[in-house]
Structure 1
Amino acid sequence: MSTLAEQLQKILLNISQYYLIPIFIVGIFGNIFNGIVFSWSTLRNNRCSLYFIIASMAQLFVLVFGCLFRIIVSLTGFDLNVSSLFICKFRTYLFVNGIILSRHFLCLISIDRWMVTSTNVSIRNLSTLRMTRLLTIISTIIWLLFNIHLLIGFHIEHNSCTGNFETFYLSFFTFFSLIVSLAPLIILMIFTTLTLKNITNGRLMRRRNQKNQLLRLSMIQIIVYILSNIPNTTYTVYALTTANYNKTNDQIVTDGFINLMTSNLLYTYCAVRENL
């Protein structure tokens, strides 16, 4: 192993010990706490509470089946992903569903915010607790069923849990990765803009500084999403498009380092998002 590879391996180990473990602990307790808070009787009938609860559960999936697995590999050298085909498939299935559902409910929260601020009575009437429950159940089932392709497309190869990227599945998964990352960003930007327009037109906020506060919070939400999610998507697309290339040991280690760094941003997002 070259000097570069050795240095990167050492950095990876330090990151796992001194960064990922605290992030994992904070994320687990934070998301559980959020789920409990939004389950209280005083908040239970709030339309968005259910969205926040499911989003917190989804983020727990990301932390457990992503961050925790990464910590175990770094500290013990034992990769649970390749210990059995069952773990490989279902870990990937639950991890990806966690990411998607977390983003999905962020979009639903943004859309609900637009509906409740609309000057159109018909649109406002769509924002009901019954509609929230219906959307939560139906959309979750749809995503869980759609992502069954992960159970079919992933397998253990060359001591790694990977997709069957020598077939059409490579193109499909690349496109899929882009859509589930960029679509929420676009939806978030569109409905944030529409919400601000509703507030301006309907004069729902009399004070200008209140509108500016909402704008500032929305911009922070969008910027944080971009910084924490897009790098990992970019790396994923790169990894998929170069999956069949012959790489040197240094390239493999470097790719692993970049993968860890971009994944850390995603784990951090899932750990602290509800506090933003």
Structure 2
Amino acid sequence: MTSSMISNEILRLQSVSDALNGYLALVVLAMGTVGNTLNIVVFIRIKKFRQMSNSIFLLTSFVASIILVWTGRFPQALTILTGIDIAAASPFFCAFRAVFGRISQNLALLCIGLVSIDRFLITSRNERCRRLLTKLRATLIVTILFLIYLAISIEDAISYYLARSCKSPNAPFAYTQFVSYFSWVVTFGVPLILITIFSLFTWQNLRFSVQGRRNRLQQQVNRMMFAQFEFVLFERTTKPANE
């Protein structure tokens, strides 16, 4: 086999791989949009879910997940399948993704970690603990987190917009390093630690609570929490490195 034939075969395999990645991005985009939209509808329409304090955290995670797939998977699929690079064509999109894409990926997972804390408090035998987290306090926590992430992301958004590129921002090196480490710690480390620790504490509480073991509503929320965590983790870890 000549070098020309080998090169052609490599190019053919590369095109097949790109096409598969494009269709995979579409599948993840569709599943993420439909699944999270249905979850939002369920939590809004069902009164028992709507009254739960952790509904604020879960709804925030659902909305953030939709933004996450649309700022990540949509431009990826569009570029691969049609050749239209919206990231290169629109500085506004770069700035929007730098702000809301990053905020959504942080909030989506961290809110699941906060749900695990709420699960622990609700299953506690201490009445004060069960009443500690209210919907108002949950809303306040989410608002504060959003403002913190917004403040951190503004510098990056301005740099992307001024650079007119999604690949070469003019942000200071120290800032980019801080954002990189901050994202890894907050996006993955903190939620994983919270979920691991407070899931064990919740399990310990449920061992002494017959009512807790039989509460189907709490079990449904737990399953939804872990399913949401797995989806967001998959979405974040399989995104292209330059995003």
What TM-score does the superposition give when structure 2 sets the normalisation length? 0.77
| 1:49 matched to 2:55 | yes
Shift of residue 178, structure 1, vs aligned partner: 1.9
| 1:125 matched to 2:160 | no
| 1:31 matched to 2:36 | yes
Shift of residue 197, structure 1, vs aligned partner: 2.2
- Residue 81 of structure 2: aligned partner: 75
Q: Deviations over 1:108-156 (max 9, x none)?
A: 1111001111223332221222222222323223322332233144358
Give the stretch that moved more between structures: 111-120 or 22-31.
22-31
Secondary structure at the aligned position of 1:14 is classed as: helix
Aligned residues: 228
Q: Is the 8 A contact 2:113 2:191 kept in 1?
A: yes
CA distance in 2, matches of 1:66, 1:209: 40
Letter in 2 for 1:57: V
Aligned pair partner of 1:167 in 173, 177, 183? 173
Sequence identity (%): 24
CA distance in 2, matches of 1:47, 1:96: 25
| 1:21 matched to 2:23 | no
| 1:111 matched to 2:121 | no
Q: Deviations over 1:16-37 (max 9, x none)?
A: 13x3223322221221121122
Secondary structure at the aligned position of 1:47 is classed as: coil
Q: Deviations over 1:46-86 (max 9, x none)?
A: 22222222211101101111111111101111211111322
Q: Check 1:227–1:159 CA distance in 2 against 1; reply closer, same or farther (3 A cut).
A: closer
Q: Check 1:206–1:159 CA distance in 2 against 1; reply closer, same or farther (3 A cut).
A: closer
Shift of residue 223, structure 1, vs aligned partner: 9.0
Shift of residue 224, structure 1, vs aligned partner: 3.7
Letter in 2 for 1:16: G
- Residue 210 of structure 2: aligned partner: 205
Structure 2 gap segments, 5+ residues each: none
- Residue 184 of structure 1: aligned partner: 191
CA distance in 1, matches of 2:166, 2:153: 20
Q: Check 1:141–1:183 CA distance in 2 against 1; reply closer, same or farther (3 A cut).
A: same
Q: Deviations over 1:145-203 (max 9, x none)?
A: 33223314435869653444772234223312321222211111111112122223xx1
CA distance in 2, matches of 1:113, 1:147: 30
CA distance in 1, matches of 2:16, 2:194: 40
CA distance in 1, matches of 2:63, 2:112: 13
Aligned pair partner of 1:263 in 226, 239, 242? 239
Q: Is the 8 A contact 1:192 1:218 kept in 2?
A: no
Show structure 1 runs of 4+ deviating over 6 A. Answer: 156-159, 206-210
Letter in 2 for 1:193: L
CA distance in 1, matches of 2:29, 2:212: 40
CA distance in 2, matches of 1:172, 1:143: 13
CA distance in 1, matches of 2:68, 2:53: 24
RMSD: 3.5
CA distance in 2, matches of 1:67, 1:34: 20
Shift of residue 225, structure 1, vs aligned partner: 7.0
What TM-score does the superposition give when structure 1 sets the normalisation length? 0.69
Structure 1 gap segments, 5+ residues each: 233-261, 265-276
Letter in 1 for 2:239: S
CA distance in 2, matches of 1:199, 1:14: 44
Q: Check 1:65–1:44 CA distance in 2 against 1; reply closer, same or farther (3 A cut).
A: same
CA distance in 2, matches of 1:224, 1:45: 25
